[in-house]
Structure 1
């Protein structure tokens, strides 16, 4: 069976040589370092996780999370998406070369932060549901419905259900607004997660400064008193930054890169000064200012700019190889950020 290297995350650490924990299949997790970053990895057999039986898949997922949580107990970590693997040690070097600056900048924002998740739910959901059913508008609608196995009756039942859910959503939103108002001042960002049960009010992820951890917990206690114990609050964490940032491996399209090379009139290998010189000269020739009414000129200029951006994506140590065999070894890490943020 082919061997791979399994990736757990980037660590903000210059050493980590004394750290040990177990990863997938009980393999030792070790660090590969460059500068102020380390990559947490372990040896692993090549596995198609999507084809595994559910129980085996969940067991691997559990091992992935457990390893990351053990690392997080000692280091600041930005985790990789579950199942991220590379082929060999050479790709580790390429990841550092192509991703170091981007990941390092992300750590400048996150090294003093933590994620805390907050679950809020109705303590007595049956009582809340009964109160909704006793609302005058709900009672009046039920009284006007003629029972019986008719299409009108079934439609009325559906409408009634929607009315109840609408009132329930209004209650959730009112509680959620108070919770967010009380906690937002502590948070650099907030993520809303989907609720999975009718009794839930909100599932929120907060990105906060580590120094504010106790204040956050105290504010949640104050919220519990404010709502007179009618809501169950549960704080989960500190957690890795799962809700806000997850790392994935990024590979490109050789056709796009080759088209960009040809657009910029570049050889199969070029350094940054060559690329910039070619882009500057071609930009002058097709700049829209030469003739603002020439649509073809505008199109060529936009295509040139897109080609330049594409080439910049593949730069490595101020050089870019357009050879297919080099491209196939190209790999970079990209942070994926969630989009359902409460705060902008």
Structure 2
């Protein structure tokens, strides 16, 4: 049997059938039903898969293509999951957690995940902060040319840092105010880069995505090019398919 089966995700029965999909290592993707669960899998060609960009995108592409064919309710599985036998899936996953999986299917039925990632230019924001904050600007200017003690350097640094943090929180709060009421659930994740200030996923009713996207676009216009907003309107619901 080689290295076993590489798993992509779980669908409620009858699940995807007769789809022509290509998985990792260019292997054909198949479906396998156990009770009322259907697993998408391909033959594993490696004992362990490196979490490279190519492999991660390949994993996600299989799920997104299945969704694109109309199989919208799914539980995406964590990248790199390889099993040796279907009996092991039955014993280790379905028997202890089958009821939770069914509850997740109910939660995700008719809903989709979308994501918003916001980045800004810290140097530019600092310039804008100084232009807008007269007292902070005057304090900074008054210290120019002077020999500063460590306490003075720390104090002015902290004041600027706090003002920048407040500036960031104001941006985030505007997004929360507009976007959160449109979502059934929200997952706020850690920023991925130093310039990223917000990284959120939203679970929304499937058919409301166009209006959600319009709100993102209106916020982009509102901030007049200050922010770079990456909006992903089609992705497997990784953030909302977590077993407790």
Aligned to 2:231: 235
Aligned with 1:69 (options 64, 70, 74):
64
Aligned to 1:59: 54
Aligned to 2:185: 189
Shift of 1:159: 4.4
* Counterpart check, 1:107 vs 2:102: no
Output the CA distance in 2 between the equivalents of 1:103 and 1:192.
23
RMSD (CA atoms): 2.8
Output the CA distance in 2 between the equivalents of 1:182 and 1:57.
35
Shift of 1:245: 2.4
Aligned to 2:20: 20
Q: Secondary structure at the match of 1:10?
A: strand
Aligned to 1:204: 200
Aligned with 1:132 (options 129, 133, 139):
129
Q: Bigger shift: 57-66 or 73-82?
A: 57-66
Output the CA distance in 1 between the equivalents of 2:187 and 2:61.
23
- 8 Å CA contact retained: 2:117, 2:231: yes
Q: Bigger shift: 105-114 or 65-74?
A: 65-74
Shift of 1:208: 0.6
Output the CA distance in 2 between the equivalents of 1:156 and 1:2.
66
- 8 Å CA contact retained: 1:115, 1:208: yes
Shift of 1:146: 6.5
Q: Secondary structure at the match of 1:25?
A: helix
- 8 Å CA contact retained: 1:145, 1:156: no
Aligned to 1:313: none
Q: Secondary structure at the match of 2:237?
A: coil
Measured against aligned partners, the alpha-carbon deviations of 1:197-227 in whole angstroms (never above 9, x if no partner) come to: 4543422111111021111012223323433
Q: Secondary structure at the match of 1:47?
A: coil
Output the CA distance in 1 between the equivalents of 2:141 and 2:241.
48
Shift of 1:240: 0.9
Output the CA distance in 2 between the equivalents of 1:64 and 1:204.
21
Larger relative contact order (C-alpha < 8 A, sep ≥ 6)?
2
Aligned to 1:91: 88
Q: Which runs of 5+ in 2 are unaligned?
A: none
Shift of 1:109: 1.0
Shift of 1:35: 4.8
Aligned to 1:40: 40
TM-score, with structure 1 as normaliser:
0.61
- 8 Å CA contact retained: 1:64, 1:82: yes
Output the CA distance in 1 between the equivalents of 2:227 and 2:203.
22
Measured against aligned partners, the alpha-carbon deviations of 1:223-243 in whole angstroms (never above 9, x if no partner) come to: 234334443333113211122
TM-score, with structure 2 as normaliser:
0.83
Aligned to 1:143: 142
Output the CA distance in 2 between the equivalents of 1:168 and 1:7.
44
